[in-house]
A and B are shown apart, each in its own frame.
Chain A
Amino acid sequence: MSDGAVPRFPRGVRFQFDAVRETWVVQAPERLFVPDEQAAEILKLVDGARTIDAIVDELAARYAAPREVIAGDVGDMLRDLAAKGALAL
């Protein structure tokens, strides 16, 4: 399975580190999402240039997990965030 889509944060959405709570947060219009550690690692690779495939490759190189498992997790997480209006795919 390959995915050449390029995820990006649309205008009005911010992915940032919250120094007070010491956690990554996604701020969107009147919404706030707190990604877990794994999701935050994926979102750090969302830069508006990398494709989903490239993100999966990078994570597969970093972690000892089968590529198809990582691809499934990454796809699910990004689609979920996109459905909530916090990511453009």
Chain B
Amino acid sequence: MSPASHKIDPPLAILAELTHRCPLQCPYCSNPLELERSSAELKTEEWCRVLDEAAALGVLQVHFSGGEPMARKDLPALVRRATERGLYSNLITSAVLLNERTLAELIEAGIEHVQVSFQDAEPGGGDLIGGYRGGHAKKLAAARLVFASGLPLTLNFVVHRLNLERLPEMIALAEELGARRIEVAHVQYYGWGLSNRDALLPSRAQLDESTVTVEAARTRLAGRMVIDYVVPDYYASRPKACMGGWARRFMNISPSGKALPCHAAESLPGFDFPSVRQHSLAEIWNHSPAFERFRGTAWMPEPCKSCDRREIDWGGCRCQAFALTGDASRTDPACALSPDHAVMEQAIEASRGAAKPFTYRRIRAEAWAD
């Protein structure tokens, strides 16, 4: 830990990844390739302390996520603690464990919003991608319960080559289920997504068609439903402002208590990410070298350093820079100004042609070896 050299704005939100356990096995899961075991997970009291510290630090929203956060029996207790501390509680769930009883417990504890993930608009595709038979039907039932309770409901659709043709049906499903918001998020290619990129990356034509569909739906549903749309970087000419900039707005807490500037940061070598078991959130946010490493603009190489967009996109994504160039401190190759931009075109080339097989997200055998 080092002394803070300047005033740092507190984080707006934390992503509390309560567990890596999940009944689903989506091949683009945002969890790391090395999944954490349940025995390593933070205990209830430890999460409660994290929530207390988050509120004191200035965090406004807590996103309870995973894995499947409802796999933790103490989720209602954690939501209650967040509510007591004035935090806005959001549940990000596959919803296959959500029923009348578990929903009632969460509402009683103060949950304010539920985001239900769907893997497709229809059961065949949904259950195939999730690797969980009957999952789609459970999600439909759960989403109806959330709507009936009066809680705001978001439907999240991760889209890719294998399901994009059904995007209009996905939007229609969100309307039918009474969602106030939809996220149409193209797969982001890190970790599991990157290892399945050849099977999942859409073509330029598919991407363009999905953008047209989203724009038309936004116009048609204006004032009734908000549509958030996330595109894949591979066809972009400017990178996304990943996480709104490294350690500027968000903190991610892994199941075992590692504090990360984003959920993929553990893929970066040479970092010693601090644990909430040893340090307070305020210490971590304000003084940890890992959070300082890419914060702001001082770390930037050219062409970022002199770019007039350096405080718009913050150099793009550090994990993508590392995954595609081997160096986390390079300009995100998604940027057309990056000297490495050609790797994006090469990836598109590699994914062309007939459908490729994908690998499910599973706890790998070696991850179980002590």
Chain A residues at the B interface, C-beta cutoff of 8 Å = 10-14, 18, 20-21, 25, 27, 29-30, 32, 82-85
Contacts and interface: CB of A to CB of B under 8 A. Distances in A.
Interface string B214-245: 00000000110110100000000000000000
A14 to B, nearest CB: 6
B48 interface: no
Interface stretch (B58-66, B203-211, B332-340): B58-66
A82 B225 CA distance: 10
A29 B60 contact: no
B113 A30 contact: yes
B58 A29 contact: no
Contacts of A20: 10, 57-58
28 contacts: A10-B152, A11-B150, A11-B151, A12-B112, A12-B151, A12-B152, A12-B180, A18-B58, A21-B9, A21-B10, A27-B61, A27-B88, A29-B90, A29-B112, A29-B113, A29-B115, A29-B154, A29-B180, A29-B181, A30-B90, A30-B154, A30-B181, A30-B228, A32-B13, A32-B61, A82-B223, A85-B180, A85-B225
A21 B10 CA distance: 9
What secondary structure prevails in chain A residues at the interface with B? loop
Interface string B175-195: 000001100000000000000
A12 to B, nearest CB: 4
B173 interface: no
Interface in B1-21: 9-10, 12-13
Contacts of B180: 10, 12, 29, 85
Please give me the 3 A-B residue pairs with the lowest Cβ-Cβ distance, nearest first.
Answer: A12-B152, A20-B58, A29-B113
A79 B152 CA distance: 19
Contacts of B150: 11
B152 to A, nearest CB: 4
A84 B88 contact: no
A83 B152 contact: no
Contact of A29 (B12, B152, B222): B152
A83 B223 contact: yes
Contacts of B90: 29-30
Nearest to B57: A20
A59 B229 CA distance: 37
A25 B353 CA distance: 49
A30 B63 contact: yes
Contacts of B222: 83
A25 B9 CA distance: 15
Contacts of B58: 18, 20-21
Interface string B46-85: 0000000000011011010000000000000000000000
A27 to B, nearest CB: 5
B60 A18 contact: yes
